[in-house]
Amino acid sequence: MRIIRNSNLCYACKTCQLACSFHHTKTFWPERSSITVSRNPQDGTIKWRMNATCDKCIDEEEPLCVKYCMYGALQISDKNADKQEVKDND
């Protein structure tokens, strides 16, 4: 399973970062998230990164970052994943 992000759909709300931290710590702790999101308000660009601590939320029904992304930007990859436009860092 892969978690993929469509940069065109991302609104940079950082909910994924915070949800991920809850999975790891049962608290809201962005520093302990596997995801980091930063954005430049002046040119509208977003930097989205996932580090090696991601365990795909092994004990959850679905990864929390995917579950709480209200914009459909994060998805679990399926057999068609290669055909989707995926940009992790833009």
b/e map of 43-74 (b: 16 or more CB within 10 Å)?
eeebebebeeebeebeeeeebbbbebbeeebb
Residue 71 as a binder of another protein (CB under 8 A): the answer is yes
With contacts defined by CB under 8 A, name the span among 33-41, 50-58, 77-85 that binds another protein: 33-41
Residue 3 as a binder of another protein (CB under 8 A): the answer is no
Instruction: State the minimum distance, in angstroms, from the CB of residue 34 to another protein.
Output: 15
CB proximity list for 83: less than 8 A, separation 6 or greater: none
Instruction: State the minimum distance, in angstroms, from the CB of residue 4 to another protein.
Output: 20
Alpha-carbon span 31 to 52, nearest angstrom: 14
Binding site for another protein (CB under 8 A): 11-15, 18-19, 21-22, 25-32, 36, 38-39, 41-44, 47, 67-68, 70-71
